[in-house]
Amino acid sequence: MPKDEAAELLQGTLDLLILKALQHEPMHGFGISLRIRQMSDEVLQVEQGSLYPALYRLEERGWIKAEWGVSENNRRARFYELTAAGRKQLDTETAEWRRVSAAINLVLKGV
């Protein structure tokens, strides 16, 4: 399935987006995907197939932590929150992304 491969390529980027989305407040899975869509002006639509594995991965690495809470429609949902390490990771990855994308832009601008 080609969509899978595309998702794999952007794995690191997805992590960054999730961390960013959680910067200000804890959210559940649906909320995170919504947030990313909003923040990117509807361009980036995260698939659930990639979202949850990414969430579990980040949780394993200790950058986000999860707790059960109550969602908007009064259902139990798992809320994710950035940890201190996660915040630091967000800063690191943001800086890295800026560096790399600037370099790519440079290359593309050249002849």
The contact set with another protein (CB under 8 A) reads 28-31, 34, 47-49, 52-53, 56-57, 60-62, 71-73, 75-78
Least Å distance between CB 48 and another protein?
5
Cβ 70 to another protein shortest distance, Å: 10
| Residue closer to another protein (CB basis): 43 or 106 | 43
Q: Which is closer to another protein, CB of 17 or CB of 32?
A: 32
Cα dihedral value 37, 41, 44, 45, nearest 10 = 40
Q: What DSSP element (H or E) covers 80?
A: strand 76-82
Is 9 or 108 the residue whose CB approaches another protein more closely?
A: 9
Whole-angstrom Cα distance, residue 59 to residue 83? 10
Dihedrals phi, psi of 43, to nearest 5 degrees: -80, -50
Q: Considering the complex, what minimum distance in angstroms separates the CB of residue 111 from another protein?
A: 41
Both tokens assigned to 99:
């560096």
Shortest CB 65 distance to another protein, Å = 12
Q: Residue 43 gets which letter from DSSP? A: -
